[in-house]
Structure 1
Amino acid sequence: MTDTRSGRDWTMLALVVLVGLNLRPFLAAPGPLLSEIVADTGLGYGGVSMLTLLPMFLMGVGAFVAPGLQVRLGARRGLLIALVVLLAGSALRLFVQDGLSLIATAAVCGIGVAFIQAIFPGIIKARFPASVPVVTGLYSATIMAGGAFGARLMPMLTGAGYRWQAALAFLALPVALALAAAWRILSDVRTGRPDGTLTRQLLRRPRTWGLMLSFGLINSGYSSMIAWLSPYYQSQGWTSGDSSSLVAVMAAGQAAAALGLPALARGNADRRPWLLLTIALQVAGFLGLAGFPGLAPVLWAGLCGAGLGGSFALAIVTALDHLPRPEQAGALAALMQGGGFLIAALGPYALALLHDWTGGFAAGWILHLGCVLVTALIYLRFDPRRYPAAMPIAG
């Protein structure tokens, strides 16, 4: 007898992978092409930072807006529309002629991604209740792997003679594949109306704000690395291809840690030892970038990537751990991402300002080192024995 439930689970996992792979390439791709983009558009450091800041900001806003849209549209229709928006934003980059239009395409892509990543943690909790850490790790790993794909592909395409606009627009093709898969795989399921009372209860809990702050501080490091790691090493004489390899190394480290650390952590409800390991990795990586950039750049990129990717995945798992019911846990994870991405959006712009003030990127990496240490203090408070007291939710 065929196990139809198992088949549905595998196809849903395949969809999670295909969609996850498309959530970061549009962010990671411009970095290795920065010299060409600046030469053709005249964007300064502040303008370049908007290519990451604006989508991250929209991801934060989207986490608050997406639940209501999901009720009106349904999960299937909402995801399909979001993928069409992401597809359009990517394809429109073929026609970019100036900095403003390039920033506009980044915003369009960010709108599509905002809806997608706001609803997925709740779906994972509902569809895979016994495997939340592993499936969340897989989802996070595919997000990070997608960033590596986008960064590494760009120099290959421009080296083959394509304009940077065409190289960026090429990323519409894997989005089209994910769109086709979602059309075939995802069922048209509607969710209940968002519980405004639940949201208000969550926002009254200090733990919700702690989750937001820690998620935001860590992801500000990710957004800055995506925006500035490649230009940082290009300013030291590296080629576009070589600097894109560093971004790919960072993203590969993210993917490996995002997949591996939640799986290792699943045997213990206390995620803090693993969260603190991600902090140690980032401390070493940011110290190396700031103080010894030429000594072991691949190591620094890999350490930062592993710390950032592992922390991203474990943060989602930790938020989901706080509440037993999928709709409650999903709402908390969405709030964490919403507030967190609003904070994370400031990372690239802060580095741009520090670069203008100091003439280099080292001060920015030190800033993120400080953010990581503050996050460590917050992580220490995530004792699972105290989750019911930290998050007493009625209903």
Structure 2
Amino acid sequence: MDQASSSGIRQQVFLILAIILICFNLRPAMTAPDPLLGELRHDLGLSMDDSGTFALLPVFVLGIAAALAPRVARLLLPWKIILIFPLVAVAGILWRSYGGMIGLYGGMIVMGLGLGIAGAAIPGFIKHTMPDKAPFMMGIYSALVGLGTSVAAATAYPIAANLGGWKEGLAFWAAPILLACAIWGCYFKIYPSHARQQPLETNISRLLTHPRAWQITLFYMSRVAAAYFLFTWFPILLKGRGMNGDDAGYVLSLITLSQIPATLVAHWGEEKLGGHGRLITLALASSVISCWAIMYGPLEWVIPFSIICGLGTGAVFSRGMSLMVERADNETTALELSGMSQGFGFTLGALMALGGSFVLQHGSSILPFCLIYTAFCIMGIVTGRLSARPGYV
């Protein structure tokens, strides 16, 4: 192997490491408060409604941030967006920990905007730097988002306990973001020629009249609605079936962890099945069958069908992210499509899930839950198959 080839491999490995660290840190700081809500309620006097608003806030902020990302890309180079906005998130994390009630909400908004804008810029960056590896890298992106979420959920409470309380425990998540930014900044300090030299000429409004862009957006929206609805009500309904709280939480964790391998192998799975559409159909049909089996079958079925459900939802998440890149013919369109699909997807998807939750609160039972979740998944199958057809936005 000659020196040029060896240098090229080192450069590629360095870049992939930087991307891995950035992607891993897109969610932990946002999900870490969930296991600590009891402590937050006690110390700050949060009501149940306050807690619900606080838990839902990140979803809406991510949607707003994604919609802003294409506009920001007209002012800053993509690699600088991915460097600067996580640092903005660090400021939000610290404000959230030490700013009292105002900081709790204001810090979450600042943090969500920082991580959301950076996350929405990554698909376009991948399209530019690794166009031939884009589907695989978007699978990595999806897996790392899931892994970061799972790690935060599992470790937030013990970290807070060891550091002295929820304030220090939530502030801790600024440290891995700073490490990721340091590695990311070092890469572009060493290899400045690898970056795009001018900001992008983005115009997200042009996608608003494009049918394929709306198909991808509606597919992403259905995914958000189904996932948020599932994770909100699964523990409650499982406890209604006789499970204790710890076991119900374990089932939810199992679904989350099962998503990770599915996001990594979804690209190869669609090749074996003959295309995106078939994989999306199989994945969502598996999720629906699993939902009904968990809710109506013997409790002995819960564990295996939770794994199947996680595999299905993980594959759908991976394909939702990948379509933003694969249906764009250049970096600019990839960023615009990411902003549109995630912007509308997070905000409207969360509202759809809230609408479903409102129905359950006025006659809570398993059947309405299964029917609403099935409806969200059918919407995903239809829009996913339309999105998967060949062609660019």
* TM more than 0.5: yes
In structure 1, distance between residues paired with 2:353 and 2:54: 9
In the alignment, is residue 367 of structure 1 matched against residue 369 of structure 2?
Answer: no
Say whether the 8 Å CA contact 1:290–1:366 is kept in structure 2.
no
In structure 1, distance between residues paired with 2:308 and 2:198: 40
Q: Percent sequence identity over matched residues?
A: 22
> What is residue 283 of structure 2 aligned with on the other side?
278
**Partner-residue secondary structure (3-state), 1:345:** helix
In structure 1, distance between residues paired with 2:39 and 2:294: 24
Query: What amino acid is aligned across from residue 118 of structure 1 in structure 2?
Result: A
> What is residue 169 of structure 1 aligned with on the other side?
171
Q: List aligned pairs for 1:37-76, cutoff 5 A.
A: 37-76=40-79
Q: List aligned pairs for 1:265-304, cutoff 5 A.
A: 265-266=270-271, 270-288=275-293, 290-291=295-296, 294-304=299-309
**CA offsets 1:28-65 (integer angstroms, 9 cap, x no match):** 33333344444444545543333343222222222232
Say whether the 8 Å CA contact 1:31–1:231 is kept in structure 2.
no
Say whether the 8 Å CA contact 1:46–1:353 is kept in structure 2.
no
In the alignment, is residue 207 of structure 1 matched against residue 212 of structure 2?
Answer: yes
The more displaced of 143-152 and 125-134 is 125-134
Say whether the 8 Å CA contact 2:82–2:122 is kept in structure 1.
no
> What is residue 185 of structure 2 aligned with on the other side?
183
Query: What amino acid is aligned across from residue 308 of structure 1 in structure 2?
Result: T
Q: List aligned pairs for 1:11-26, cutoff 5 A.
A: 11-26=14-29
In the alignment, is residue 262 of structure 1 matched against residue 279 of structure 2?
Answer: no
TM-score (norm 2): 0.84
How far apart are residue 152 of structure 1 and its match?
A: 0.5
**CA offsets 1:149-194 (integer angstroms, 9 cap, x no match):** 0100123335658433333332222212212212212346444442
In the alignment, is residue 306 of structure 1 matched against residue 311 of structure 2?
Answer: yes
In structure 1, distance between residues paired with 2:205 and 2:181: 34
Gaps of at least 5 residues in structure 1 are: none
**CA offsets 1:115-143 (integer angstroms, 9 cap, x no match):** 11111111111111111111110111001
In the alignment, is residue 342 of structure 1 matched against residue 347 of structure 2?
Answer: yes
**CA offsets 1:316-344 (integer angstroms, 9 cap, x no match):** 32333334333334422332222212222
Which residue of 306, 324, 327 corresponds with 1:322?
327
Which residue of 253, 270, 277 corresponds with 1:248?
253
Which residue of 115, 118, 132 corresponds with 1:113?
115
In structure 2, distance between residues paired with 1:159 and 1:292: 38
In the alignment, is residue 332 of structure 1 matched against residue 337 of structure 2?
Answer: yes
In structure 1, distance between residues paired with 2:83 and 2:32: 23
In structure 2, distance between residues paired with 1:367 and 1:338: 23
The more displaced of 107-116 and 320-329 is 320-329
Q: 1:321 to 1:79 in 2, by over 3 A?
A: closer
Larger helix proportion, structure 1 or 2?
A: 2
In the alignment, is residue 123 of structure 1 matched against residue 125 of structure 2?
Answer: yes
**CA offsets 1:265-305 (integer angstroms, 9 cap, x no match):** 35787311111122023213433454459554444543333
Query: What amino acid is aligned across from residue 83 of structure 2 in structure 1?
Result: L
Say whether the 8 Å CA contact 1:279–1:372 is kept in structure 2.
yes
**CA offsets 1:93-123 (integer angstroms, 9 cap, x no match):** 433654x643333222210111111111111
How far apart are residue 146 of structure 1 and its match?
A: 0.3
In the alignment, is residue 6 of structure 1 matched against residue 2 of structure 2?
Answer: no
The more displaced of 284-293 and 258-267 is 284-293
> What is residue 151 of structure 2 aligned with on the other side?
149
Say whether the 8 Å CA contact 1:137–1:263 is kept in structure 2.
no
How far apart are residue 311 of structure 1 and its match?
A: 1.0
Say whether the 8 Å CA contact 1:96–1:165 is kept in structure 2.
no
In structure 2, distance between residues paired with 1:314 and 1:359: 32
In structure 1, distance between residues paired with 2:105 and 2:368: 26
Say whether the 8 Å CA contact 1:287–1:366 is kept in structure 2.
no
Q: List aligned pairs for 1:30-41, cutoff 5 A.
A: 30-41=33-44
The more displaced of 303-312 and 321-330 is 321-330
Query: What amino acid is aligned across from residue 178 of structure 1 in structure 2?
Result: A
Gaps of at least 5 residues in structure 2 are: none
Q: Tell me the number of residue pairs that the alignment of Structure 1 and Structure 2 aligns.
A: 384
In structure 2, distance between residues paired with 1:351 and 1:367: 7
Q: 1:333 to 1:327 in 2, by over 3 A?
A: same
Query: What amino acid is aligned across from residue 74 of structure 2 in structure 1?
Result: V
In structure 2, distance between residues paired with 1:314 and 1:238: 34
> What is residue 380 of structure 1 aligned with on the other side?
385
Q: 1:163 to 1:290 in 2, by over 3 A?
A: farther
Q: 1:14 to 1:123 in 2, by over 3 A?
A: same
In the alignment, is residue 194 of structure 1 matched against residue 196 of structure 2?
Answer: no
In structure 2, distance between residues paired with 1:289 and 1:347: 23
Q: 1:298 to 1:28 in 2, by over 3 A?
A: farther
Query: What amino acid is aligned across from residue 269 of structure 2 in structure 1?
Result: L
In structure 2, distance between residues paired with 1:365 and 1:41: 36
In structure 2, distance between residues paired with 1:229 and 1:85: 34
